[in-house]
């Protein structure tokens, strides 16, 4: 609270402190210099993280790596796709996703995304026959119709990788997101639910995919023996696959492990905070928070909403400025210069396709961070600032 009793605009960019338990472990590592995951004969912090994460999500294998982008790249490599294979990705995602496809020497095929931020199933079905793999990005935690996607892909024998970078804790039809497809990838970058600065992890039940990814992540010589349960598969692939050296180091694992028990609470707080703000925004005639699909239980740490009812690009920019004047940063995905989530900015792809549905959505879709640590008063401040800014411009 400010001295005059008014709540100040909350800072939504600061992180939460790392649990104190991480300190003792980091101190121990700094004293011993034991930072490399493969130095200790067993129970290295990275190996323990993999075990704990696999258990938390209910997957057989987990491989911790340097980022979610690295996990997405390794997932594609582990599928052993031919060079130039087409990989379907949603056109609304972070630039790291098409980048991982390019990195794996495959070709991304962008699929239209609707006003509700979810994959357009008609466009998906139309483009699927040319694809050899599918990478579904649960962008900002919004889950596309995974039942329909899995049904189509299973029938066609096409593997699905889930980019769950920003979806840890989301549940689809009672299943943890990241366990629905063949591989699930998560991020520990600072803006995600678990913060290690950088880091990623992939999970799978498939021993061949796990073994191949482990070797390529940099388990040189017989270091794969420190990944339990994969002896036959790893022995087969040793020295037959390139080593991309995308390993996680022990310090990152020490920062992540004490946050895993906090995930459930962060998810509950994030959901309550999101829904509290959504309810207030939906009272405005100019704003709309799209409904999640029925089977999705979300784990949001931000809110997305659409400007509805006759906005122009200029009035949307005025709205951004009016919110900013109230201390709240609203990003309209398609209107912020060079935005990494607007597909037309992915110039590294060469010519980007014309995707009118996704483009129209991005020009009116707004993004506001709602870190799970915010109080109800802070959430209400943000909601009021957004509603008032819209009223000021359109009222």
Interface ranges with ligand PLP (CB under 6 A): 67-69, 93-94, 96-97, 137, 139, 163, 165-166, 187, 189, 200
Q: Which is nearer to ligand PLP, 246 or 323 (by Cβ)?
A: 246
Q: Which is nearer to ligand PLP, 187 or 358 (by Cβ)?
A: 187
- Spell 248-283 as b/e; 16+ CB within 10 A means b: bbbbbbbbbbbbbeebeebbebbbebbebbbebbee
Q: Which is nearer to ligand PLP, 69 or 204 (by Cβ)?
A: 69
Q: How far apart are CA 133 and CA 106, in angstroms?
A: 10
Tokens 């987990």, located at residue: 62
Minimum Å gap between C-beta 185 and ligand PLP is: 8
Q: What count of Cα atoms within 13 Å lies in the side-chain half-sphere of residue 284?
A: 26
Q: Which is nearer to ligand PLP, 67 or 320 (by Cβ)?
A: 67
Minimum Å gap between C-beta 71 and ligand PLP is: 8
Q: How far apart are CA 212 and CA 217, in angstroms?
A: 9
Is residue 57 within 8 A of residue 101, CB to CB? The reply is no
Edge-to-edge strands of the sheet including 200-204? 61-65, 200-204, 183-187, 160-163, 133-137, 86-90, 107-111
Q: Which is nearer to ligand PLP, 233 or 372 (by Cβ)?
A: 372
Q: Name which of 186, 195, 243, 189 is nearest 219 in CA terms.
A: 243
Give CA angle at 22 (18, 23), nearest 5°: 100
Tokens 């800072």, located at residue: 11
Q: Name which of 338, 322, 332 is nearest 360 in CA terms.
A: 332
Minimum Å gap between C-beta 102 and ligand PLP is: 14
Is residue 207 within 8 A of residue 284, CB to CB? The reply is no
Minimum Å gap between C-beta 50 and ligand PLP is: 16
Q: Name which of 243, 226, 220, 249 is nearest 77 in CA terms.
A: 243
Q: Which is nearer to ligand PLP, 97 or 349 (by Cβ)?
A: 97
Q: Which is nearer to ligand PLP, 161 or 234 (by Cβ)?
A: 161
- Find the length of the chain: 395
To 10 degrees, what angle do helices 207-218 and 68-78 make?
120
Minimum Å gap between C-beta 260 and ligand PLP is: 17
Q: Which is nearer to ligand PLP, 166 or 274 (by Cβ)?
A: 166
Minimum Å gap between C-beta 373 and ligand PLP is: 19
Question: Is the C-alpha dihedral spanning 242, 246, 251, 256 positive or negative?
Answer: negative
Backbone angles phi, psi at 287, to 5 degrees: -130, 145
Q: Which is nearer to ligand PLP, 249 or 282 (by Cβ)?
A: 249
């Amino acid at each position: 609270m400010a001295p005059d009793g008014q709540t100040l605009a909350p800072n939504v960019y600061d992180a939460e402190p790392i649990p104190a338990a991480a300190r003792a472990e980091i101190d121990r590592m700094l004293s011993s210099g034991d930072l490399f995951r493969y130095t200790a004969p067993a129970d290295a912090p990275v190996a323990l993280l993999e075990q704990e994460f696999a258990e938390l999500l209910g997957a057989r294998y987990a491989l911790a790596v340097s980022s979610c982008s690295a996990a997405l790249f390794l997932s594609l490599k582990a599928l052993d796709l031919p060079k130039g294979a087409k990989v379907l990705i949603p056109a609304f995602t972070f630039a790291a996703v098409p980048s991982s496809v390019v990195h794996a020497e495959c070709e991304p095929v962008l699929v239209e995304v609707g006003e509700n931020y979810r994959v357009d199933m008609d466009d998906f079905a139309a483009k699927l026959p040319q694809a050899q793999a599918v990478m579904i990005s649960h962008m900002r935690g919004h889950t596309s119709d995974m039942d329909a996607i899995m049904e189509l892909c299973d029938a066609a024998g096409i593997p699905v990788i889930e980019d769950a970078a920003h979806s840890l804790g989301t549940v689809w039809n009672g299943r943890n997101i990241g366990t629905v497809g063949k591989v699930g990838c998560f991020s520990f970058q600072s803006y995600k639910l678990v913060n290690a600065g950088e880091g990623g992890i992939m999970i799978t039940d498939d021993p061949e995919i796990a073994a191949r990814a482990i070797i390529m992540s940099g388990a040189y010589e017989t270091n794969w023996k420190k990944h339990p349960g994969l002896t036959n598969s790893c022995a087969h692939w040793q020295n037959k696959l390139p080593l991309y050296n995308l390993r996680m180091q022990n310090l990152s694992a020490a920062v992540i492990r004490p946050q895993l028990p906090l995930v459930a609470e962060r998810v509950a707080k994030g959901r309550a905070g999101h829904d509290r703000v959504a309810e207030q925004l939906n009272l405005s005639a100019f704003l709309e928070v799209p409904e999640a699909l029925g089977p999705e239980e979300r784990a949001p740490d931000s809110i997305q909403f659409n400007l509805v009812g006759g906005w122009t690009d200029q009035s949307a920019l005025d709205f951004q400025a009016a919110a900013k004047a109230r201390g709240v940063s609203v990003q309209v995905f398609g209107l912020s210069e060079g935005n990494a989530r607007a597909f037309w900015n992915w110039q590294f792809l060469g010519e980007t396709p014309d995707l009118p549905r996704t483009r129209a959505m991005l020009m009116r879709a707004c993004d506001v961070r709602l870190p799970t640590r915010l109080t109800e008063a802070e959430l209400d401040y943000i909601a009021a600032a957004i509603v008032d800014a819209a009223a000021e411009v359109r009222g």
